[in-house]
Amino acid sequence: MQRARALIRDVPDFPKPGILFRDITPVLGDPLAFREVIDALAARYRNQGLTKIAGIESRGFVFGSALAYALGLGFVILRKPGKLPCKTYSATYALEYGHDTLHIHQDALQKGDRVVVMDDLIATGGTAKAAAELVTQAGAELAELCFVIELGFLKGREKLQGLPVHALITY
């Protein structure tokens, strides 16, 4: 993960003063770094009996779909309200100021599916917890919550109360 880690840039005071944003877009723009990330994840999940990868809007779509392709699996999208056209399950989670919701199509997963949820970053863990709830609400088994970056100092893993979590890079 040396190449990917070296490319993640710090953006101070984004999206508001006092926040240090970890920008992963340079990793996406570098084919060797992007391949390094996907290859590492594919090696981890190759023989775990997975049936689907679920990606959290929006950067989770990029990493998750590439991982699903590498593993020969289907890809499921977890989206914000009003973005999915069919019946959905939903899970609401707290933000620093207010709440947000994730949705999944009710027919996206079935009993017997074994799923890894993918996103670019875990911070406080609220979005990840909602994603895990959606997977189980849809009747599937959550194999793991997976992230490229973990902001360990925000203790998001603790909010997930023992759910399986993997991150490639921790700050």
DSSP 79: B
Query: Is residue 96 flagged as an active site residue?
Result: yes
Query: Is residue 5 flagged as an active site residue?
Result: no
80 to 4, 31, 100, 102: CA distances (angstroms): 28, 29, 8, 5
**In terms of Cα–Cα distance, which of 103, 89, 38 is closest to 64?**
38
**11 strand-pairing partners:** 21
Crossing angle of helices 59-71 and 31-45, in 10° steps, is 60
Q: Which tokens hold the place of 171? A: 């700050």
The one catalytic residue in 22, 35, 44, 59 is 59
> Which residues are known to be catalytic?
59, 96
